[in-house]
Structure 1
Amino acid sequence: MKYLFTFLVLFVFNYVNYAQIIPEHNTEKCGSDIVHKWRLEHESGYAESYAKLQSYVNKFVAAHPDGFSPKAVITIPVVFHIVLSPTEHAGFLDSRCTENIGTLNTDFAGLSTHSMGDFPASLKANCDIQFCLATISPTGAATTGIERVDYNGPEWTAGDNGVKQSSGGGLDAWDPTSYLNIWVCNLTGSLLGYGTYPTVLDNFYGLVIDFTATGTTGALPPFDLGGTASHEIGHCFYLEHIWGDLGACSVDDGINDTPIQESSTSGNPTPPLLDACQTASPGIMFMNYMDYSDDIAYANFTPDQKTIIQALFASGGILEPLTNSIKCGIPLVADFIGNPSVPATVNIGGTVDFTDLTTGTPTAWEWTFTGAVTTTSSTQNPQNIQYSTLGLFPVKLKVTKPNFADSITKLAYIEVINPLDVNCDFIGAPTCIVAGDSVNFTDLSTNTPTTWKWKFNGGTPDTAIVKNPQNILYDTPGVYSVYLHASNLTSSDTLTKLGYITVMDPSEVPNANFMANLTNMQAGTSINFTNQSTGLYDSLQWYFSGAVPPSSTSNNPASITYNTVGDFNVTLILYSSTCNNDTLIKPLWIHVFDPADVGPVHADFHATTSRLIYVPGATVNYEDLSTGNITQWQWTFYGGTPPTSPAQSPQSIGYTIPNIYDVCLIVSNSLYSDTLCKTEYIVVSDNPWPNNSFCDTVTNILPTEHPLTFMHLTPKYWGYFPGHNGSLTKYYAEKVTNYTFSEVSGLIIPPVKCYSASPNNKVIFTIWDVDNQGLPGSVLGTKNVLINTFVPLIYKSVMFDTPVQVNGQFFVGYQLYYNTPYDTFVVYMSPNRPNPIDNHLYLKKNASSVWQTPTQFFQDTMQVNVSLAISVIGCLVGINVEEINMDSQISVYPNPTSDKINIELKDFVPSSFNCNLYDLTGRKIKIETFNTNTNFYEIDVSKFNNGIYLLEINVNNQRTVKKVSIIK
């Protein structure tokens, strides 16, 4: 029998293929700490590997304060290398190894029946680790998981790696990434075993145990219950001795749920066992496998010890490769299906057939059918399982084969119903919405219910009694359940769908967007993509048609190479487990050309962020929209930082000084170039604009072109130009170039003559886009106005019902009708201009006619180059701006005005009042305000230029902003 005693030993350590001498030391039951400390001092690289192991485990434990359990039990293939003399071999049967596998599985599953003393049973953890004897050798041949070699040399000492090498008289390790290696030999003195910490998975990793402490039958008491292997494998799984090895109450094993104890324990103490560190019950945890107690006393690994063990097998852990080993055979994964299919709905008295779908070839089956007439079965595919009780029932399947077992329970898998009773069911559409949206519900209950009671948690209304409730509004983000009780005269049923409706904050909705540093390039170019998506999503997927690689899951994919000439799509998909996914496809977005193919280019671009920005810190992103085989881009950002850029689509161009700025782009290749300047494209202000927009009026009439005019067409035609006339001119369109506006809200019309032959006769004011010939194209928006609402020589504003979206260039004008008797409607225009390039007016007789200039239309020798005197009311819609709305309490009139502005405060007397006027650049205009009455104020604007201004009114420390038009 081996006992603990002190002796001097010559310690041979063969990690580097030559003997090294360890100084004299105290020999213990376990030599793991001795080996570890020697390696720290003498083995190159070991300290660094151990520190890395410590750091990884500490981070894992900190990230899992409540412990960690894997998705499935981890089964580790084990090989026993038995290095004994022929006589010792004869007394050591293979069954000893099989027995030790059994004790290991009991100990690591937390199934030991040994007492925990005064400690709670919760400290006996199931480590979710099992062991099996390997059945497949490294060569792929069948094996018992046990190999032997005769050895007639001296007893082995702790750390003598000769036992782990055939060249040293022992046996070589099997691949440590696929097997746990256990060497069984005759160890010297009282040494029962030692294990190595998992710093590296090399051919020396594993444990060595004495043959007298292996297995149960024939092992020598008190170490005859397999506890030595459990103890040493604990070291292989990075567990320290429970007392910390230094013998003091200030030293610990670093584990929270193992009490500090002064020293190791021997024998089989009676609990509670107290020491200098633990002076009251429950005392020290001598029953822990990492103490030195007898096997009969061993009982537990703790939950925190389990977390450390599982850290090694988790993703990124050093023992993770062992989780994928199939050297004991293919693991079992239990599964099954019932017929009727999932979920199985069965009429009372009906039967279900079950089919085993387990992978890994089980050899035994244990079925449990709760609620069935036949409640168990051991056949692989049970048939005709009858259910005669109403209800919802689970089904369980446990499968086994040598070394493996698995089970699965499918809850609420069988629903037994009365076919004549109401069976409640419903659907909602959609079930994932943005706050403020609605859901429609449809009853799917069977057997004709006649009454319904709905409850909608979080919804408005929150109840309903109709069959199919519609437009249930959800205003607050969250996850909500829906309840339905349906009944008829003979039966009823209830269904609650928990967490059925998901309501998202608008800012959380996935919205895919992206940009690339190049979209127009020569073949062979590599480019980088930037994800500009917003909202919450779990993962993403890119697809790059025609590129290498063709896909990516990176947030910002780099070095995507296009070798093939063509135009290619780019797709970005955002995947959200919370709500809907979102997909953005930019069709034919990537243009790849042959470097030898040189042709004309056309410049175009737009801002992808707001063009109405506020300083400080305001930036704008630009996207190139140019066409052609372009090799160079040169941007100029007036007022921007940086002021220029050679990038295709520059991002984050900063602006710091309030003003309105131009942006220019020159694109070119070796033979061609093109330039586009968008004047007054960026509006920068340090003051907020009302209604989230910057607005202005523009006209093609020059300041010097007054007085305005029109033309009599007599004697050649009756009537007027531009208006009703004898040539039956029906359409008039004025070309406008303005890169500031994103939309047109209205027009200011200067009528000369306006006579309506009938009260219902009208003019249609129209906005067209520009076709590829520079002429009026598609209609963007219209507004019908009765002619008799106009007054000659008085300006009239015509506002569109919905602002019309425009993009830099567009046409404004009107369409006339030639009724009987004729109407007369004429609008002012500019005086005639000498240069045809200064003509902006186009006209035609009817819808099928061709647009012409006035000179072309009248086929006259006199050149007519003019512009309509219509003013466009345009806005640049920008970012959200918070402002206080006092419209109900403040009136500003007249608006438009020519000389003065009146401000009336309704129903209250102000304690404080002041106002400021700003022009379109945000510049403050000096004004004088006259208090004409307690609630009335007047501002003189007679000397100001035409245009739109912002009037800031501050009353009682509250602020509002009004747009004011000055027209003279």
Structure 2
Amino acid sequence: MRKILLLLLAWFVVSGGISYAQRTAVKLTPQKQNKVAQDITQNAPLRKCGTMEYLAKQEAENPSLIQSRLDFEEFTENWIKNNQEYLNNENKAVVTIPVVVHVVGTATVQNFAIDARVTEQITILNTDYAGQNTHSMASFATNLKANTELQFCLAQRKPDGTATNGINRVTTTTSTYSTNNLVKTHAPAWDPTKYMNIWVCNLGTSLCGYAQFPSSGINSTYGVVIHYNYFGLTGSTGYPYNLGATTTHEIGHCFNLYHIWGDDGGSCSGTDYCTDTPNQADANYDQWTGVHTDACTTTSPGIMYMNFMDYSPDITMSNFTPNQKVRIQALFASGGALYSMTQNNLGCVPPGGTSVPTVTTTAASAITNTTATSGGNVTADGGATVTARGICFATTQNPTTSNTVVNSGTGTGTFTSNLTGLTLATTYYVRAFATNTNGTAYGNQVTFTTTGGTTTGCDTTNLMTSGLPWYSFACGNNSYGDLAKANYYASSTSGQTIQDIGVDFIYAVGTTGTATISVWSNAGANGSPGTVLGSKTVTLSTISTDVNNATTTWIHLSSPVTLSGPCYVGVTLPTVAGDTAVILADTSATFSYNVAWEQWDGGLWYTFNDPNVDSWGIAAALGIYPIICDPTTTVTVPTLTTSAATTITNTTATCGGNVTSDGGGTVTARGVCWGTSTNPLVTGLHTTNGTGTGTFTSNLTGLTTNTTYFARAYATNSAGTAYGNQITFTTTSVGIDVTGLDQAIKIYPNPSSSNVYINLGKYSIENVNVYVYDALGKEIIVDKKINSEIVTYNFTNQSNGLYFIYVSTPDGNIVKKISINK
């Protein structure tokens, strides 16, 4: 939805107050009234989700949940903003969630919600959350149907470790349940930090289902409640909600997704916090095809009526969007509300039975010409001891333990692996692995490219420049039996290196013969080629293939050759009878081309135009191209410290660091990273606070109330990212010094029949904002940047009942309830 207001306090309780618990509560357009009339005639019910009604009830009973929800949204926004590299990685590990289905109620419910319907519903969830629902996207692009990278399994193990089929049947005499959570008392939740709890029961005629948002707590009431008639497929009589999408929709709420129209009663002012869902006036109940517009989105492609978070018939529902996907993924990342579901969760593994481990791969860091650092996290051992773990890597995708391996211990938990012996300027693929008695599992694939090669400091211009065919000729063994050909590089200096060499051959014959490409010093007689500094042999068949493909033959020496001054680079030709290799050469009238030398059959070297012997008498250059690199200064990662956290509130804190050394390379990024787990990384939540050495300050925002955080300063240069010492701090409770705010701010009289007064006391000179909401969450009053000591609000035109006054100050926020009785 295009209107994104992260802290929009119109969501203070529930925007618009539409609960859909009763059909008469739905605000309908004339067009929709006609459709409803048809549905009533055909005895087809409207989809009725009780989640927003349930949320309003929770927040009315516990106003601190309001601030919790706002804090939750701020955390989500910041996490998404700071983790784009992670989110854009298409090779992330899929999270599998154990599910327990509590079938609760009378024999009617038990006989209807048979095991087959339960397994059908799990299959539907897996299809929908994998982006594989085949229903049409109408005029919307197919890339708006996202794979959330979540899957579901029926639990195979109870919290106490005993076996289960994931279905918990509880027979009761209660014929009808509601949003009062009685069903969760009759069938208590399994550990909600490890299992998704689904309660299936009779919700009467007013509800299809309801859910609890994660901001209200991952506790004994977290999960979804589904009317048995809209669950699964077999024997369903819940048309048009008979294809299992109700459960998909309600679990979406559990994963912090809001209704696509923003629950604003048709005003076009609400939000679902997603920019890729078009603004929508109200819930959609129709089975549309093609483009459908409304008052909020009047042009093609129209409203996204096929989104799972709308109210459309199941046959129409089709997708979650990429923005909805990243909101979901924020829950399962380190620091997210459902991160615990990813940590050593054996819910899908039967007791006594085992599976391969679960492992993720850490992004590569500290990348140099020949080394890098990666690692992984074994989050579950699969019920059997992890006997080996580490990373495997290769220059091809999806490496396995048959490729190069770095072993890093045993057991579960995080580990670090150092990759060595890499080739410069080369792309590598890496996967963590973990092995137990059931086999080896692999983590998500990450990729990186080593530094070096043709980067800054390496000369790649040692190529022939004329490029004109009538200047070129062939140069090989010829009838004189020449042994080698080489170019002289007079400008190379001490400390420069050569590791990569290209040669343009134009002919090669021989199935077993070879040619040797070498680098020589200039310490031979009269400055001719002397000691071989480095060489590599290449087969004539390889050269022949390159010739046929019209490509240069390139070799990579096993280690760089360090020069002490001018050098020679060339080819030792084959000497076996019948074997031939011919090199492209070029002539020019310019003296700069006078670089070609050849070794005659007597072993001595001569230039192509040596006037003292029977030479060719021409100035020439051979098609031999070394990449000569300047000396490199060894760069290490920076050195830095982390400063202690200060100015800690319920959602913010101040930290920073001091980069005391740049490690010999420019510090291109620095800041602070933080999370709720130890040793946070820059791949998670982090700030960016300039470049270079010295001290800096970081403002940490979007924190969660009363939560312990770990933080480290970081600094990045060409050698990688370094971290300072770890510090820890705990955020305060909601609204700093709530007792002090209560004492400083007075609201009276309570109850009142007309006017309500707010005495802001010492905050009268501050920028204070006041928001007033009715019991259903409808915004009644918004008053911003108040600088008066006493403000008055008149409730004469408001109905009797309960109202909430939210006061936001620079020192925190308070929520107070008042009663209007006239």
- Do both share a fold (TM > 0.5)? no
Whose RCO is larger (CA < 8 A, sep 6+)? 2
In terms of fraction of residues, the more strand-rich structure is 1
TM-score by length of 1: 0.38
**Larger Rg, first or second structure (1 or 2):** 1
In terms of fraction of residues, the more helix-rich structure is 2
TM-score by length of 2: 0.44
